[in-house]
Amino acid sequence: MSYPTDPRRLAAWLALPGNCCLALGDDDYPPLLARIGNPPPRLYVSGDPAVLWRAQVAVVGSRRASPGGLATTREFCLALAGAGLAITSGLARGIDGAAHAAALEAATPTIAVCATGLDEVYPPRHRALAARIAAEGALVSEFPPGTPARAPHFPQRNRIIAGLALGILVVEAGLRSGSLITARLAGEYGREVYAIPGSIHHPMARGCHRLIRDGARLVEGVDEVLDGLGPLARALGADIAGRLARAAATPARPAATAPPADPARARVRAALGHDPLPVDALVLRSGLTAATVSSILSLLEIDGEVAVHPGGRYAILAPSGQGEAGCGPR
């Protein structure tokens, strides 16, 4: 679906540092999202587009979250971020905002999928939060700059939240919550769906209970989420490896004679050291694109070859094997 675009407004927005537009079919378009049945033809991104290739878990729930729900969101997101997963949500009040804030607290990239153009912020109270997300992660929208908040856009953007992530965790949700739409779509896309149960007397627990009855996995601790996401993270890694192999192949050298993805992976490993480095530095050292470097780092995380440090910095794991773990199960 295409949306009305003001060419001058779009050009002015794209001229600002950190803004870009990814088209379906571009090498940098996030591979998991490209697999869904109706991926957005264009993704407007404010921030680092390379984080869209990272292993992600979506954390969503009610805008009218309880204090306990907000505390649970923070607890789970801090642990998920500590395991190397980027946190994806929808920038809404309540659970969404708490999920983004916890990821930022953990110095881990977070991705906010917006239902407006990225020069608009909804809700307005999240302007400061959105600015931090753009600086340390990415704001994403299929709607061009200048698009205001409209009711139909919110359930529509939910497919992007579900499509970017390996799995979705619903913390609190009423029976009419948009989070149930996101969870249903995630299940249709073959992603893991998790729900945290609550009191039978709490209206914001009823949506989670319905999801559990319909087959979502009941979770009481973050390890249960990580155990389920491990196989999906490896599948994502295999897909990325295949993409890198195809990108590395040249007509002059048949792909059959070239080890898939090894040259690019070797360049990233050579760029890494024992002192933590940000992705930008690794891009300069390796001469590869940001998306390629980020993808290989995801593979190295899954294989336990790199440590992830605060601020999205990476270093080769010490020979002892100690350090921060990647996104696999633990």
Q: Is a pLDDT exceeding 90 seen at residue 30?
A: yes
CA dist., res. 100 & res. 77, Å (int): 8
**Cβ-based burial of 165 (10 A; exposed 0-12, middle 13-18, buried ≥19):** buried
In this structure, the chain runs to a length of 330
| Side-chain half-sphere exposure of 121, counting CA atoms within 13 A | 17
Domains and CATH numbers, the chain: 16-225 (3.40.50.450), 259-330 (1.10.10.10)
Quick one: pLDDT band at residue 256, thresholds 50, 70, 90?
A: very low
- Percent of the chain, pLDDT > 70? 81
Q: How many helices (H) and strands (E) does the chain have?
A: 12, 12
Taken in order 25, 30, 31, 35, the sign of the CA dihedral is: negative
> What sign does the dihedral 34-161-236-275 (CA atoms) show?
positive
Q: What is the pTM of this model?
A: 0.72
Angle CA 106–111–112, to nearest 5? 120
Residue 126 near residue 97, CB atoms below 8 Å? yes
Model confidence pLDDT, tens digit, residues 84-103:
899 999 999 999 999 999 99
| pLDDT of res. 14 | 92
Q: What share of the chain is helix, strand, coil (3-state, %, to 5)?
A: 45, 15, 40
**pLDDT tens digit string along 173-214?**
998 888 999 999 999 998 999 999 988 889 889 999 999 999
Would you say the C-alpha torsion 63, 68, 72, 74 has a positive or negative sign?
positive
128: helix, strand or coil: helix
Are the CB atoms for 91 and 114 separated by under 8 Å?
A: yes
Whole-number percent of the chain with pLDDT over 90: 58
The Cβ of residue 276 has, within 10 Å, a number of other Cβ atoms equal to 18
pLDDT at 324: 34
Give CA separation, 55 vs 25, 44, 249, in Å.
Answer: 20, 20, 25
Which pLDDT tens digit goes with each residue over 265-323? 888 888 898 888 887 788 888 888 776 776 677 667 656 788 877 666 788 875 433 33
